[in-house]
């Protein structure tokens, strides 16, 4: 289940991509499948060996295509102190991460630092209204009641303002996963960890069916509901190219787009 639109991110084969807060690696694997050179970074270590193993399995099975540059590595690191030099990455994905980090402004400054001039960032956070409902329904859904849980509710103006303060130029945005909002409201109503509740199990089966089968009916339904009920907000931004610095043809194209 992807939240980021890779066409809006303008990902190309051979790009060096950071998936910051990669978790189980869903966005990292898609970037790898498209021929990118991918670094999947997460603060937690537990899932990284499996992510690295799947990169290897995808390479062996040809799922990264025939592109010679495709590669994938998994790294343990802190989003507010990223272990990379300045101007390293062509593209960065930061999906459902900033709402967990107490100093989100420091994390955005770090993402700006390591992104190449002309490079693009896709940042996703829980949308304000669905998230507000979850917080109202259950204190067990968010911090401080959940260690490492959500510490803030983002509105789009706040996210854009923090991106601009870090140096980014925000652009397109959209919402995703409207069908997931009622699922989380239901979970919060019966207890966020109560996965055995009959209604939760039934709705989960529906979501799995929707993800695996992608029927036209639910695709159109979600597309219509996303602007109002989309669980995730996605904002795309770019790092400006300094006018005094020499730049590549790719950077110039990104700056014009």
Q: Report, as an integer, the average pLDDT of 7-17.
A: 96
pLDDT above 70 for 254: no
Of the chain, the percentage scoring pLDDT greater than 70 comes to 93
Q: What is the pLDDT of residue 59?
A: 85
Q: What is the dihedral of CA 148, 153, 155, 156, to 10 degrees?
A: 10
- 109's CB contacts (< 8 A; 6+ apart) are 166, 167
- pTM for the complete prediction? 0.91
- The dihedral region occupied by 176, where left means phi > 0, alpha psi between -120 and 50, and beta the remainder, is beta
pLDDT, tens digit (0-9, with 9 covering 90-100), for 19-56: 999 999 999 999 999 999 999 999 998 889 999 999 98
Phi and psi of 22, rounded to 5°? -65, -25
String of DSSP letters for 6-47: HHHHT--TT-EEEEET-TT-HHHHHHHHTT-EEEEEES-STT
pLDDT above 80 for 246: no
Q: What is the pLDDT of residue 124?
A: 98
Q: Where are the domains of the chain?
A: 6-128+141-177+231-256, 178-229
pLDDT above 60 for 245: no
Q: What is the pLDDT of residue 251?
A: 60
Cα–Cα distance measured from residue 27 to residue 48, given in angstroms and rounded to the nearest whole number: 14
pLDDT, tens digit (0-9, with 9 covering 90-100), for 131-189: 999 999 999 999 888 888 899 999 999 999 999 999 999 999 999 999 999 999 999 99
Q: Are strands 16-20 and 89-95 parallel, antiparallel or unpaired?
A: parallel
| Least-confidence region, from 6-15, 43-52, 82-91, 248-257 | 248-257
6-128+141-177+231-256 fold: Rossmann fold (3.40.50)
- 95, with CB counted inside 10 A (0-12, 13-18, 19+), is buried
pLDDT, tens digit (0-9, with 9 covering 90-100), for 64-117: 765 667 889 999 999 999 999 999 999 999 999 999 999 999 999 999 999 999
């Amino acid at each position: 289940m992807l939240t980021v639109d890779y066409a809006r991110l303008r990902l190309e084969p051979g790009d060096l991509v950071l998936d910051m807060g990669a978790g189980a690696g869903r966005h990292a694997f898609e970037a790898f499948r498209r021929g990118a050179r991918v670094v999947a970074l997460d603060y937690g270590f537990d899932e990284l060996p499996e992510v690295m193993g799947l990169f290897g399995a995808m390479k062996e099975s040809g799922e990264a295509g025939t592109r010679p540059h495709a590669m994938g590595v998994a790294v343990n690191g802190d989003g507010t102190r990223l272990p990379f030099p300045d101007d390293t990455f062509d593209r960065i994905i930061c999906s459902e991460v900033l709402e967990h980090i107490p100093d989100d402004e420091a994390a955005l400054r770090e993402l700006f630092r390591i992104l190449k001039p002309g490079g693009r960032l896709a940042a996703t956070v829980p949308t304000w209204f669905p998230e507000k409902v979850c917080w109202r329904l259950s204190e067990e859904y968010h911090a401080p009641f959940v260690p490492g849980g959500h510490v803030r509710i983002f509105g789009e103006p706040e996210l854009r303002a923090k991106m601009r303060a870090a140096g980014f130029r925000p652009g397109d945005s959209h919402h995703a996963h409207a069908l997931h909002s009622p699922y989380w409201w239901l979970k919060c109503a019966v207890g966020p960890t109560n996965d055995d509740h009959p209604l939760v199990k039934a709705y989960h089966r529906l979501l799995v069916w929707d993800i695996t089968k992608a029927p036209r009916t639910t695709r159109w339904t979600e597309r219509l509901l996303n602007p109002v009920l989309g669980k995730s907000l996605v904002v795309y931004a770019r790092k400006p190219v300094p006018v005094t610095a020499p730049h590549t043809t790719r950077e110039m194209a990104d700056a014009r787009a």
